[in-house]
Structure 1
Amino acid sequence: MSNITDLIEQYLKMTLTRSGKELLEIKRSELAKQFQCVPSQINYVISTRFTLEKGYIVESKRGGGGYIRITKVESHEDAALFNHMQSLIGLKIDQQTAQNIVFRLYEEEAITKREAKIMSSILERELYKSTIEHRDEVRANLLKAMIETLKYTENH
Structure 2
Amino acid sequence: MQAQSMSDIIEAYLNAILAEQRQVEIRRSEIAERFNCVPSQINYVLKTRFTPQRGYAVESKRGGGGYIRIVKAQLRDEQEPLTLMRAHVPDHLRESDARVMTQQLFDAHVIARETGNAMLAAMSHHTLAIADSESEQVIRARLMRAFLDSLRYER
Taking structure 2 as the reference length, the TM-score comes to 0.48
Taking structure 1 as the reference length, the TM-score comes to 0.48
Q: Which has the larger radius of gyration?
A: 1
Ranked by relative contact order (alpha carbons within 8 Å, sequence separation 6 or more), the top structure is: 1
